[in-house]
A and B are shown apart, each in its own frame.
Chain A
């Protein structure tokens, strides 16, 4: 039987790309110097959903919340085989902590209608909290399977999933609908398909129309461009707070129970330090000193 999956994804700064240029001598980071990428484990979640669709039929819908630029990860999802993508974007969503984020995502999932599975990455590399998945599951009133590594079986309204931790595994059986948070070892996400890359190259959210018109002035007007995109299923759905059945007091920064009291750029206290030359004499001196101080036996 076909299964309808919704994949929650996030665009994140690539914190793995932190290099000397991005880090200042004080140990702070220039965020804008980092490329924005598809959160790695969200790609594993998308891959799992695409494999379910290939084996059982059904649909894959991808949802993200973020600024207009986050449409990039939605195009990436289309290039890989997503059927439908939705961007949640509104200034009212900005500054959301995991509580306000999961509230907004759950409302959007409910608006999408009936589903069998919600999938997302175990955690995002910019915060590593791993909170949004379980918090969304609670708000949807569905069970959660965190640390999902593989689907052992999917039959009727029952799924059997292998969970993987640092120190072991667990096999669990769960009733659908449920939410899975997927670990990086789950699969190797497929690359973008060249054919789909061409097909969906123009997929855009309305805020991107001016940019597209600059590139292709022959469309003449935003209305003509929109009609062209809509006819070809290239208009990326965007929902604002007004499109969702939400209590605005629970959105964004104002709806976030956690607040940042202060941020400290860590001033490193220079330890009393000695420079050791990378030479045989230097290293010998270092080891002799460590032995004398009983640091090395």
Chain B
């Protein structure tokens, strides 16, 4: 039944601009395809998107399935799901990767439910490997390992879909590294003709307002992040001040976001942004797996926590056991003096 082991990537575009995470997934797809000896296929939907397939090929696709139709101009669940479900059913991809954006998180579960396949959300790593089912006494070769923090973000689970195809996973932006495009790459463009049903148009978009991001955590060279230990708004103000002084961005753990100290755009971790700064300062962050998944590749980590046993200290290069209200002002003061 399985014809090939191709890796499909849903390429999300908005007004002709391709989402970063889609390009990151094309790079990851290339890596997985090399292991499997297969190809990377991209699926892109939109209207008047004739320029996009070439860009997608340069970023790593071997084959582009493009559905260009006025009804696909703005993302809507049902028309997109109709086109892609039909493609999955007729071509049976081995793996299907989707960016965990608001669009991807709306679309991927709908697709997985329609074709009845397994889906793992917010993976922090993807690998190829074997899986032996003890119950069946069967070994499945070359499955997609869908790796993500689980159980409240405190352990790392490797999930597999042994029997259903495609093996579907979503990945947050910034988790995978994006390769430089290769202008000499060639690939096949295949135009797809949508076959909609009347009920696909049950929903109409009346208006839409999308603003540019004001927080640029992913590419920041310095991140100063506050956590549950900084729930005093004054402490959080110190976090902001220190970030400003270092020319960096303000980050936050989920606890700080849930406590309403700062907006979700600042969240670092599996369900937030993955960062790789030159310097990461964790202020009052205990360091759950969920958080560490988003920052453990930082070049240098300074952790400040009043609890000497906080897990964050185990990955920190510099440990400061102390009270934020004292340590942060000291850092700020010393940096100011140095700047004079």
Contact = CB atoms under 8 A, between A and B. Distances in A.
Interface of A: 13, 15-16, 18, 20, 23, 25-29, 31, 34, 97-99, 102, 126-139, 143-147, 160, 165-175, 178, 256-266, 268-280, 282-284, 286-287, 290-291, 293, 295-297
B155 interface: yes
Given A20-B310, A127-B121, A273-B318, 17 more contacts: A15-B153, A20-B286, A26-B311, A27-B154, A29-B155, A99-B117, A135-B110, A138-B114, A144-B106, A146-B105, A169-B209, A172-B203, A257-B117, A259-B159, A259-B160, A261-B158, A276-B320
B79 to A, nearest CB: 11
Interface string B87-112: 00000000000000010011011101
A271 B208 contact: no
A295 B280 CA distance: 10
Contacts of A20: 286, 307, 309-310
A130 B121 contact: yes
Interface stretch (B24-32, B52-60, B182-190, B295-303): B295-303
Contact of A129 (B77, B122, B154, B338): B122
A109 B258 CA distance: 31
Given A131-B109, A273-B318, A167 B159 contact: no
B118 A257 contact: yes
Contacts of A18: 152, 154, 286, 288
Q: Is the interface of A mostly helix, strand, loop or mixed?
A: mixed
A258 B211 CA distance: 36
Given A20-B307, A25-B311, A99 B152 contact: no
Contacts of A280: 330, 334
A291 B246 CA distance: 12
Given A29-B154, A260-B157, A97 B110 contact: no
A31 B152 contact: yes
Nearest to B204: A173
Q: Interface size for chain B: under 10, 10 to 19, 20 to 34, or 35 or more residues? A: 35 or more
Interface string B242-258: 00001100000001001
A143 B202 CA distance: 7
Contacts of B247: 297
A282 B320 contact: yes
B8 to A, nearest CB: 17
A146 B106 contact: yes
Given A138-B110, A259-B161, A266-B155, A171 B150 contact: no
Contact of A99 (B78, B113, B203, B213): B113
Contact of A256 (B78, B118, B158, B310): B118
A117 B286 CA distance: 41
Given A15-B153, A138-B114, A172 B160 contact: no
A273 B119 CA distance: 39
Contact of A168 (B146, B206, B210, B338): B210
A-B pairs, top 8 by smallest CB distance, nearest first, are A278-B322, A257-B118, A268-B314, A168-B210, A138-B113, A15-B152, A258-B118, A29-B154
A260 B118 CA distance: 12
Contacts of B145: 261
Contact of B109 (A134, A167, A264): A134
A258 B105 CA distance: 17
